[in-house]
Amino acid sequence: MSVDSATVRKIASLARIAVSDAEAEALAPELSKILGLVEQLSEVDTTGIAPLAAVVPNHLRLRDDVVTDGDIRDKILKNAPQAEHGFFAVPKVIE
């Protein structure tokens, strides 16, 4: 499978990563190589084999329905580039 620079730019834009045209040109062959490496896996015949979710036998753990967290607004907002009146403040996003 080969990735062209247009695909790289699309993936970058979906992931909100700024990639210049020159970088996209350079990344295209790199990503193609990585995908090529991974693609070797499809040579293995997996007919009738259930997908493996974890390599050790393990079960999803569940929590009880109890409030054990929250009420840490100041901590939460401390990382925000901008916070006002207890809210995160972000550039206006409206359609």
Partner 1 sequence: MSNYRIQGATGEWEVVIGLEVHAQITSNAKLFSGASTRFGNEPNANVSLVDAAMPGMLPVLNRECVRQAVRTGMAIDAQINKWSRFDRKNYFYADLPQGYQISQLYHPIVGEGSLLIDADEKAGIPEPKTIGVERIHIEQDAGKLMHDQHPTRSYVDLNRCGVALMEIVSRPDMSSPAEAGAYIRKLRSILRYVGSCDGNMEEGSMRADVNVSVRRAGEELGTRTETKNVNSVRFVMQAIEYEAGRQVDVLEAGGKIVQETRLFDPDKAVTRSMRSKEDAHDYRYFPDPDLLPLELEDSFLVDCRASLPELPDAKRARYRDALGISAYAADVITADVETARWFETLLAAGAEAKAGANWLTSELFGALNRLGRTISDCPVSPVQAAQLLALVADGTLSGSLAKQVFEIMLESGEDPAKIVDERGMKQTSDTGAIEAVIAGILAANADKVEQYKGGKEALFGFFVGQTMKAMAGKANPKVVNDLLKKALEA
Number of residues that bind partner 1 (CB under 8 A): 39
The amino acid that residue 86 corresponds to is: G
- According to CB under 8 A, which one of 6, 33, 36, 87 is a site residue for partner 1? 87
The C-alpha atoms of residue 36 and residue 80 are separated, in whole angstroms, by 40
What CA–CA distances, in Å, run from 58 to 51, 52, 61, 64, 90?
14, 11, 9, 19, 41
Name residues contacting partner 1, limited to 11-70 (CB under 8 A): 13-14, 16, 53-54, 58-70
Query: Could you list the residues that contact partner 1 (CB under 8 A)?
Result: 10, 13-14, 16, 53-54, 58-73, 75-77, 79, 82, 84-95
